[in-house]
Amino acid sequence: MRIREILATDSHKTIEIEIDTSKGTVRSSVPIGTSKGKYEVKYLPTQDAIFKFNQLKRHFTNDDFENQEDVDSLIRIIDKSEDLHELGGNLAIGISSAFLKAFAQEAGMEVYEYLLAKQKIKPVIPRPICNIIGGGKHAGRIDIQEFHFIPVHQRTFAESVMKIANAYRTEGKKLKKDDPTFTFAKNVEAAWTSNLTFEEILNLMAKVANENLLKMGLDFAASSLWDGNRYYVYRYANDMLNTHDQLDMIKELMRNYPVIYVEDPFHEDDFESFSVLSHEVTGRLICGDDLYTTNIKRLDVGKSYASTNAAIVKPNQVGTITDTIKFVEAAKHSKMITVMSHRSSDTEDTLISHLAVGLGCDYIKLGISGDRTAKINEMIRIEEKILSSSRLNLNSEIRIRR
Residues designated catalytic: 189, 314
The nearest distance, CB 290 to Mg ion, in angstroms, is 6
CB 319 within 8 A of CB 82: no
Which CB atom, from 98 or from 190, has the smaller least distance to Mg ion? Answer: 190
CB 58 within 8 A of CB 64: no
How far is 273 from 269, CA to CA, in rounded Å? 9
Task: List the x/- string, 266-305, binding to ligand 2PG by CB under 6 A.
Answer: -----------------------x----------------
Which CB atom, from 79 or from 289, has the smaller least distance to Mg ion? Answer: 289
The nearest distance, CB 6 to ligand 2PG, in angstroms, is 18
> What secondary structure does DSSP assign to 141-196, as a single string?
S-SSSEEEEEESS-S-HHHHHHHHHHHHHHHHHHHHHH-TT--S-B-TTS-B---S
Task: List the x/- string, 251-290, binding to Mg ion by CB under 5 A.
Answer: ------------x-------------------------x-
Looking at beta carbons, which residue is closest to Mg ion? Answer: 289
Q: Give phi and psi for 338, each to the nearest 5.
A: -110, 135
Q: In this chain, which stretch among 118-126, 192-200, 324-332, 339-347 interacts with ligand 2PG, using CB under 6 A? A: 339-347
Task: Enumerate residues 6+ apart whose C-beta is below 8 A from 178.
Answer: 196, 200, 204
Q: Does 316 bind ligand 2PG (CB under 6 A)?
A: no
Interactions with ligand 2PG, residue window 131-150 (CB under 6 A): 146
Interactions with ligand 2PG, residue window 196-255 (CB under 6 A): 219, 221
How far is 278 from 284, CA to CA, in rounded Å? 8
The CA-based angle 259-277-128, given to 5 degrees, is 35
How far is 232 from 235, CA to CA, in rounded Å? 9
The nearest distance, CB 268 to ligand 2PG, in angstroms, is 11
For β-strands 259-263 and 285-288, DSSP reports them as parallel
Interactions with ligand 2PG, residue window 362-401 (CB under 6 A): none
Residues at the contact surface with ligand 2PG, assessed by CB under 6 A? 33-36, 146, 189, 219, 221, 289, 341-344
Residues at the contact surface with Mg ion, assessed by CB under 5 A? 219, 263, 289
